[in-house]
Amino acid sequence: MLRKDPFITGEYYHIYNRGIDKRVILKTKGDYERLMILLYLSNSNISFRLDDIINRQHKTLVEVFFLNRDEQLVSIGAWCLMPNHFHILIKQEVDGGITKFMKKLGTAYSMFFNVKYQRQGALFGGPFKSKLIGNNDNYIRQLFAYIHLNPLEIQFPEWEKEINQRSSMMKNFLESYRYSSYQDYIGIGREESNILNKKNFPDFFQKENSFKEFVEGYFIKVF
C-alpha cells in the first residue's frame, strides 16, 4: 500500500493497529512475550528467525533482548500491547525504516499466531495506522501518557468515570502491567527495556527521575 504521506527520517510518529474485525490477537502470556520479543528483533537490518535462535542457539527469552541487532531501523520511545491492538511511539532512523520494521513485525507475528491457532488469512485489520507527531514536546508527553493509560480499559472499562473512587487501584494496575514500556520509566529494571531507544528522543525521556515525576504528576492531575 502506498501511503499518501511518506514517512520522514528523523520525525516522530504514533503507530497503531488492531486485529481484523477487532478480534483478539494476544490471547496468552506466550503471545504477549512473542510480540514483545519481535518489537526488539524486528528493529534491525538483520533478518532473525526467532525459533532458530531459541531452539538451535538455545537462547532463553531473556537472552534474546541482548542480541546484537547492528543498524536499527527505528527508535521506540513508548509502546503498549492490548488484547486486540497495540500502540507504538516511534522515530524513523533510516529511510524506509518504519515501513520495513512494521512489515517484519506484522508478518512474523501473524505467521506465529496463525500456526499456533491453526487459522489462515489476515490477522490485522488492514495496514497499520500512523500519525505524524512532529517535534512538539507537549504533544509527545500527552501521547506517552495516552499510550500507557490504555491498559486501564482491560481492568476498568469505564475508568474515566471511576477515577475518584478507584484511583489507587488503577495506578497499581498500571505499574504492574508488563506489556507496555511504563515499567521502564518508573525504575523497574527488566530486559524488555532494551526495546526502547530513549537517547533518540527529547531529553526528558533519558532522565528517569524527571520523567517519573512527570508521570506521577500526570496521574495526580488526572486521578
The sign of the CA dihedral 85, 91, 96, 97 is negative
Residue of 98, 167, 159 whose CA lies nearest to 133: 98
User: Quick one: what percent of the chain has pLDDT higher than 90?
Assistant: 57
pLDDT digits (tens, 9 = 90+) for 155-179: 888 777 777 777 788 888 998 999 9
Residue 161: what pLDDT?
A: 74
Residue 205: what pLDDT?
A: 76
**Residue the block writes with cell 518504519:** 98
Confidence class of residue 11 from pLDDT cuts 50, 70 and 90? very high
Query: pLDDT at residue 223 above 70?
Result: no
Q: Under a CB-based contact definition with an 8 Å cutoff, are residues 32 and 178 in contact?
A: yes
Residue 170: what pLDDT?
A: 85
Question: Which are the contacts of 27, defined by CB distance < 8 A and separation ≥ 6?
Answer: 83, 117
Residue 6: what pLDDT?
A: 84
149 has which bridge partners? none
Query: pLDDT at residue 91 above 60?
Result: yes
Long-range contacts, 92-100 (Cβ 8 Å, 24+): 92/7, 92/8, 92/9, 92/10, 92/11, 92/13, 93/9, 93/10, 93/200, 94/9, 94/45, 95/9, 96/7, 97/7, 97/9, 97/73, 98/7, 98/13, 98/15, 98/73, 98/74, 98/130, 99/7, 100/73
Q: Under a CB-based contact definition with an 8 Å cutoff, are residues 79 and 146 in contact?
A: no
Q: 74-84: b or e for each residue (b if 16 or more CB lie within 10 Å)?
A: bbbbbbbbbbe
How do the domains of the chain map onto residue ranges?
Answer: 12-222
pLDDT digits (tens, 9 = 90+) for 185-201: 888 889 999 999 999 98
What value does the mean pLDDT take over residues 87-110? 96
When the candidates are 3.40.718.10, 3.30.70.1290, 3.40.1830.10, 3.90.1150.10, the CATH number that belongs to 12-222 is: 3.30.70.1290
pTM surpassing 0.85?
yes
Residue 204: what pLDDT?
A: 73
Question: What is the C-alpha separation between 185 and 180, in angstroms, rounded?
Answer: 10
User: Quick one: what percent of the chain has pLDDT higher than 70?
Assistant: 88
Residue 113: what pLDDT?
A: 96
Confidence class of residue 216 from pLDDT cuts 50, 70 and 90? low
Question: What is the C-alpha separation between 181 and 90, in angstroms, rounded?
Answer: 13
Query: pLDDT at residue 28 above 60?
Result: yes
Query: pLDDT at residue 109 above 80?
Result: yes
Residue 121: what pLDDT?
A: 92
Query: pLDDT at residue 67 above 70?
Result: yes
Residue 36: what pLDDT?
A: 96
